[in-house]
Amino acid sequence: MLTNKQLEIEIPRIYNYIRQYFKDNGFTKAVVGNSGGKDSAVVIGLLANALGKENVLTVTLPCYSKEEDREDALLVAKTFGTKCINVKLDKVVDEMISSIEIGYGNTLSKEAIINIKPRLRMTALYAIAATENALVVGTGNLCEIFVGYYTKFGDGASDFNLLGEFFVSDVYKIGEYIGIPAKICKKAPSDGISNETDEEKLKFKYAQVEEYILTGDTDFDAKAKIERQHRITEHKRKPVPVYNRIKDWSKYNL
């Protein structure tokens, strides 16, 4: 976990990174999915402080989500002075599921339906970003990435990610440092889709993931689950593989 002394060095480096990345790529605006959770709150706060609140557009994307999440998202936007718009995807999700099931001729699995939601959310974020000439900023932390707890081409997609090298405990510390609301800091991490907290769904704790990454060990049962989760989600962390075509035909005697 980052110490306060380390934060005093790290936070200005993050701000400089943000400003330089936007400058190098010719952008001034950022678009962020605002879930009302700590990760998106921290990213929104960092971006607002680095780029100016007027250059950060936050978006709530409810898919039969809890109203409390929307209220928390508005609290985050108010805290950092950013604009927050609401894009309701309930009917879009229903139509997508219905269309696929009719064409496919089968009922989609529970997990397939869950994954449709973050992919539609990311479609909406990129449509808004393209219109605003902005970059979509990711919010996944190191623990989530290590165990692949995100949807490929959904919430795992972004133009760049600010939290990808920070543990969950680091994100809490950064959040406290930049002043995200205590209510958000104390909120149990959740995808806002499955009606379970992350840790309930994963069957292990983020603190155990952090311990495993740092030491290679943790609680026996959790260790086995973490290693399995890391192994079966390796494809998410790798670039899309491309078939290597034949480039030298001389040995084929054609």
Does 251 map to a domain?
Answer: no
Report the alpha-carbon distance of residue 229 to residue 127 in Å, rounded: 32
Q: Report the Cα 4 to chain-centroid distance in Å.
A: 25
Region label for 136, one of left (φ > 0), alpha (ψ between -120 and 50) or beta (otherwise): beta
**Looking at residue 174, what is its pLDDT?**
97
Region label for 93, one of left (φ > 0), alpha (ψ between -120 and 50) or beta (otherwise): alpha
Q: Which two tokens stand for residue 241?
A: 């593989």
Report the alpha-carbon distance of residue 148 to residue 115 in Å, rounded: 13
Q: Which two tokens stand for residue 60?
A: 């709530």
- Asked whether residue 158 carries a pLDDT value surpassing 80, the answer given is yes
Residue 47 and residue 34 in contact, taking contact as beta carbons nearer than 8 Å: no
Per-residue H/E/C for 165-187: CCCHHHHHHHHHHHCCCHHHHHC
Does 245 map to a domain?
Answer: no
- Band (pLDDT 50/70/90 cuts) for residue 127 is very high
Does 192 map to a domain?
Answer: yes
- Asked whether residue 178 carries a pLDDT value surpassing 90, the answer given is yes
**Looking at residue 66, what is its pLDDT?**
86
pTM of the model: 0.95
Report the alpha-carbon distance of residue 175 to residue 187 in Å, rounded: 12
- Asked whether residue 149 carries a pLDDT value surpassing 90, the answer given is yes
**Looking at residue 179, what is its pLDDT?**
97
- Band (pLDDT 50/70/90 cuts) for residue 190 is confident
- Asked whether residue 160 carries a pLDDT value surpassing 80, the answer given is yes
C-alpha distances (whole Å) from 223 to each of 51, 72, 147, 195, 226 are 40, 33, 11, 25, 5
**Looking at residue 192, what is its pLDDT?**
74
Does 148 map to a domain?
Answer: yes
- pLDDT tens digits, 68-121: 999 999 999 999 999 999 999 999 999 999 999 999 999 999 999 999 999 999
Computed over every residue of the chain, the mean pLDDT equals 95
Does 156 map to a domain?
Answer: yes
Does 253 map to a domain?
Answer: no
Residue 128 and residue 31 in contact, taking contact as beta carbons nearer than 8 Å: yes
The maximal CA–CA distance of the chain, rounded, in angstroms, is 71
Domain span holding position 227: 4-239
Does 246 map to a domain?
Answer: no
Non-local CB neighbours of 5 within 8 Å, separated by 6+ positions: none
**The CA-based dihedral angle spanning residues 168, 160, 234, 240, taken in that order and rounded to the nearest 10 degrees:** 170
Nearest to 50 by CA among 127, 160, 165: 160
State how many domains the chain has: 1
CATH number, domain containing residue 75? 3.40.50.620
Does 254 map to a domain?
Answer: no
**Looking at residue 194, what is its pLDDT?**
73
Report the alpha-carbon distance of residue 37 to residue 188 in Å, rounded: 8
Residue 213 and residue 128 in contact, taking contact as beta carbons nearer than 8 Å: no
**Looking at residue 191, what is its pLDDT?**
78
Mean pLDDT of 128-152: 97
- Asked whether residue 36 carries a pLDDT value surpassing 90, the answer given is yes
- Asked whether residue 182 carries a pLDDT value surpassing 90, the answer given is yes
